[in-house]
Amino acid sequence: MYQSIGNQGTVLIVEDDRNTAALVATYLEREGFSTVVVHDGGQAIQAAGACNPVFVILDVMLPNMDGWEICRTLRKSSEVPVLMLTAREEEVDRVAGLAMGADDYVVKPFSPRELVERVKAILRRSRSSVARPVTVISFDGLELDTEKHSVTRDGRPVALTSSEFKILQALMSSPGKAFSREELLDHCYRHGEAVIDRVIDVHVGKLRQKIEDDTTQPHFILTVRGHGYRFNDNSGDQGER
């Protein structure tokens, strides 16, 4: 593991190819970031806890623990933005990474300059969201706080990925409005990455598992057949499957 000091926050780079890791670190440091680099998946979680990164760049194929498992573990306790690197271009891998809570997905080989711009763009969106005024939206025991970036159900915290939070925020902000999958994609991925609309179905399925009492008869997030989803605007409403 090695670390450099900057003033834009720390980026954790988890990449077993030392040349790639060093190149990415160099470009980030030119932009004022500090970097922490680890080459083993087994060290990633410990490193994240030790350096409190503002961003994580995560290779998929790693020794001891793969990037998907690391991303899944991080998302249990953190909303830190995650960008995944992979040599594979298959659609199923892109869907899997995004569904596990990654904010972006880059296929090797890549331009390190473009990678840094993606990191900066994701951080700008994340920080502007934190700066919004306090807004609490609640319905039948489900509460979303946009300033704290938190969700509770009957007073108990609900751990959501960044994409799940964005979808729930969009739906709860306009109860009763039918959102198409494309509209929800725009809320989740705003800087042009190519993502298929069935990723939304994956996110909604995981959301329902976390907030619904019965996922076969959802009360909060209702399906609009042939179109997308809407949030319940009537406490007596019954959800479609």
Domain boundaries, the chain: 2-129, 136-231
Write down the pLDDT at residue 27.
Answer: 94
Residue 188 has what pLDDT? 78
Query: Residue 168 has what pLDDT?
Result: 94
pLDDT at residue 129, rounded to an integer = 53
123-126: long-range contacts at Cβ-Cβ below 8 A with a sequence spacing of 24 or more? Answer: 123/9, 123/54, 123/55, 123/81, 125/190, 125/191, 126/81, 126/162
Maximal C-alpha separation, the chain: 58
Contact indicator for 208, 153 with CB cutoff of 8 Å: no
Q: How far, in Å, CA of 219 to CA of 238, rounded? A: 6
Other CB atoms within 10 A of residue 231 CB: 23
Give the global pTM: 0.55
Are the C-beta atoms of residues 11 and 34 closer than 8 Å to each other?
yes
pLDDT at 20: 93
- The pLDDT profile of the chain, 241 residues, written as one tens digit per residue, is 555 555 678 999 999 999 999 999 999 999 999 999 999 988 999 999 888 899 999 998 898 888 888 998 888 878 889 998 887 665 555 666 666 778 888 888 899 999 999 999 888 877 655 445 547 899 999 999 988 889 999 999 999 988 899 999 999 988 999 999 888 888 777 554 545 668 889 999 999 999 999 999 999 999 999 899 999 987 444 444 3
Residue 1: predicted pLDDT:
58
pLDDT at position 136, please? 87
- Which residues, including other chains, have CB under 8 Å from residue 79's CB and lie 6 or more apart? 149, 161, 162, 165
CATH number of 2-129: 3.40.50.2300
- The confidence score (pLDDT) of residue 239 equals 43
Measured distance CA(15)–CA(105) in Å, rounded: 14
Residue reference for tokens 């680099």: 37
Among the CATH numbers 1.10.10.10, 3.40.50.300, 2.60.40.60, 3.20.20.80, which is that of 136-231?
1.10.10.10
